[in-house]
Amino acid sequence: MFDLGWQEFMMVAFVLVIVVGPKDLPKVLRSFTKITGQARQMARDFTRSLSDLAEDDDLKDIKKIVKDAKSGDLDNVANLLETDVKNEMMDSATRMQREAEAAFQQVEEGSRPSNDSRPSNDRSVKSKAPTKKPAKKSAKKSAKPRKSRAEKTA
């Protein structure tokens, strides 16, 4: 990795003994090896996560589509894309239908005269409309129109 010879290693050891001292040298070496081990573990985890990402099913589908497109088999590409789009649209439609039904139920529950069905900490419904404060009128009203900078300097 660093291609250290025995001479360079001895120089580093000598500098460490002088800078750190012989009393604290074992503690420093232990902490250095611990940090090195943690860095290696992080590197292993990173490479493992990248390999997991590469093996993901979605990426396999994309790789297959690109491979088929390169080979000229566009019918297979069209079929794969069509099924993927249909599945996504069906998932979106069912999710939207559930959300609409939930919203409809909330509207029905909100229109009932009793407030027991509504949660007490509902912040979306305000008890009274916000009121606007009237603008303060200034006490001084000058009869003269204001002058622009150009008029003031002239």
pLDDT tens-place string over residues 71-125: 877 777 777 778 888 888 888 989 999 999 988 888 888 765 444 544 555 454 4
Number of structural domains, the chain? Answer: 1
pLDDT tens-place string over residues 128-139: 555 555 555 555
In a domain, 27, yes or no: yes
| 13 contacts 5 by C-beta, under 8 angstroms | no
In a domain, 48, yes or no: yes
In a domain, 21, yes or no: yes
